[in-house]
Each structure stands twice: as structure tokens, then as C-alpha cells.
């Protein structure tokens, strides 16, 4: 199994009614060299300015982005080429990130290469530390910028630190 760290930026709280603006993915391995990034044209007329503002893009810019079906096809192909076994979805906020990736895969491709489950990085760290009040974010090296590749990279760095320095038993 191969862990794939994912981060999503969206223009609202839920897929379908709102749109995924962009997302990034990083194969979690020591080199952290295999990444995926895409910007996606809105699939809905609805959007929240405060949500879109987080991504740093304007609505006008988003309207020039790539078609969602094309992006999800490219992402599925990238996963197939990058992962020899089963890809495992992991993110900082899997409740948010997973819902968009899962919905887009099923809506546009009829399947999700990740299957039906995801892992939350924060919960994994809390369990490792045996403390539900701790936060892993100090383990990131790459600054959290809301560029989804940067954010996924920082989270992947944190997961590698959990394995290498904190003794997390995980196959990467």
C-alpha cells in the first residue's frame, strides 16, 4: 500500500453544490518527488467568496481552469503510474479533502482509485502521542501556503517524521 497525501482547496463547504478549485497530491516516500497538481473549472454556479479567497484565485481565473472530468482522468492515470499497489488516501483534514476527491472521482469517472476509506493525519498523530490535545503541524518543513502541493508536501514531511523520529510503524 502506498500513502498519497492530498490537499484540496474549494469554493464552498461541500462537493456538488460547490466546486473543487484545485488540489495537490504527494506520494509519501523519503524523496517526496512525485507530485500531482491540478486546477479545476467550477462545476456549479454557487461559490462563497470567503471560501474561494483561501485558494488565492478569483472566480474569473477559476472559469479558465481545466475540465473536471479531464482532471480526474489525469489524476487516476497518475495514481496508476505512480502506485504499484493500492493507493491510500491521507490528508490533514480528510473529512473535507476526501469528500471532494471521492465525489469528483465517482461523479466523473464512476469509481474512486482510493476505494472507500481515508486516513486523517491529525488523528494518527494524536494516537501516536496518546494525547487528543496535541497537533502535528509543528512537524511540517514546507510552509503551509494554501497551495495544495505545498500543503500536502508539509503534511507528508510530518508523516515521514512520525515514522523516522517518533517510531510510527508504517510501511512507506
Phi, psi of 88 (to 5 degrees): -110, 125
Strand 20-27 and strand 2-10: pairing?
antiparallel
> Residue 170 in contact with residue 158, Cβ under 8 Å?
no
Residue 99 belongs to a domain: yes
Which pLDDT belongs to residue 15? Answer: 98
Nearest to 3 by CA among 75, 91, 76: 91
In angstroms, rounded to a whole number, what is the distance separating the alpha carbons of residues 117 and 70? Answer: 23
Residue 170 belongs to a domain: no
Residue 121 belongs to a domain: yes
**Number of structural domains found in the chain:** 1
By residue range, what is the domain housing residue 111? 2-164
**Whether this model's pTM surpasses 0.85:** yes
| Residue 137 burial by Cβ neighbours in a 10 Å radius (0-12, 13-18, 19+) | middle
Which pLDDT belongs to residue 44? Answer: 97
Alpha helix (H) ranges present in the chain?
49-55, 59-62, 68-82, 94-109, 121-129, 148-164
CATH of the domain at 18: 3.30.420.10
Residue 171 belongs to a domain: no
pLDDT in tens, 46-89: 999 999 999 999 999 999 999 999 999 999 999 999 999 999 99
Residue 172 belongs to a domain: no
Residue 87 belongs to a domain: yes
| Rounded-to-10 torsion of CA 26, 27, 33, 36 | -40
Residues facing residue 94 across a β-bridge: none
Residue 37 belongs to a domain: yes
pLDDT in tens, 28-50: 999 999 999 999 999 999 999 99
Amino acid at each position: 500500500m502506498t500513502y498519497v497525501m492530498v490537499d484540496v482547496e474549494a469554493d464552498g463547504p461541500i462537493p456538488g453544490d460547490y466546486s473543487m478549485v484545485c488540489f495537490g497530491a504527494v506520494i509519501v516516500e523519503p524523496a517526496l518527488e512525485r507530485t500531482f497538481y491540478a486546477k479545476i473549472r467550477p462545476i456549479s454556479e454557487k461559490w462563497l467568496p470567503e471560501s474561494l479567497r483561501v485558494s488565492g484565485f478569483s472566480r474569473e481565473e477559476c472559469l479558465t481552469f481545466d475540465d473536471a472530468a479531464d482532471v480526474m482522468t489525469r489524476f487516476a492515470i497518475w495514481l496508476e503510474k505512480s502506485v504499484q499497489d493500492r493507493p491510500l488516501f491521507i490528508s490533514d483534514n480528510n473529512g473535507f479533502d476526501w469528500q471532494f476527491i471521492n465525489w469528483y472521482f465517482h461523479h466523473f469517472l464512476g469509481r474512486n482509485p482510493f476505494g472507500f476509506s481515508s486516513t486523517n493525519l491529525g488523528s494518527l498523530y494524536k494516537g501516536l502521542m496518546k494525547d487528543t490535545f496535541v497537533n502535528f503541524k509543528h512537524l511540517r518543513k514546507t510552509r503551509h501556503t494554501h497551495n495544495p502541493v505545498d500543503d500536502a508536501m508539509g503534511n507528508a514531511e510530518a508523516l515521514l517524521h512520525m515514522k523516522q523520529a517518533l517510531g510510527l510503524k508504517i510501511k512507506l
